[in-house]
Amino acid sequence: MQNDVSHLPYKLIFHKTHGDDCEYTTDEGILDLKAFGYKNRPKYVDVRDSISTNFITYSFNGCFAYSTKDACQNAAACITDEISKKDRLIARQEGRSFTHTQGVSTIIYTDGAGIKVQVFLLCSTSESMQAQRADDNNY
């Protein structure tokens, strides 16, 4: 199930709390991105693209930058081509932005070269992750 929030009419901006660049407040409480990451390695690893013909997997870390042996350096998110096994950086921790609309928190990351990664966070009793490439510059 995809969570299309593009039709929602309002966006509220998160505010940083006490200089911690991984904590943001909304009217509903505090979002701490450290819960979505490990230090020096991604918390979410090799998540398959939801379109089976894309042959890519995603790795993501919510707060802390990580690096792999390949091209994925100082990353928030990378993709791996399942055929060539090559990594590619698609998002860095620096410059991320946040929105919050009707209970959906969105983290927007960039790689500094035109690629945008949007992570939608929804409250749930269980943890799961879905990933999908919209086009070569949007994930």
Q: Distance of alpha carbon 58 from its chain centroid, rounded?
A: 10
The domains of the chain, with CATH numbers, are: 12-121 (2.70.130.10)
Average pLDDT over the chain reads 79
Three-class SS of residue 24? strand
pLDDT score of 103 more than 50: yes
Q: What is the enclosing helix (H) or strand (E) of 15?
A: strand 15-17
Q: Report pTM.
A: 0.76
Q: What is the pLDDT of residue 18?
A: 43
6-37 per-position pLDDT tens digit: 443 333 333 444 446 888 888 888 888 888 88
Give 78's pLDDT tier (boundaries 50, 70, 90): very high
Is pLDDT larger for residue 123 or for residue 120? 120
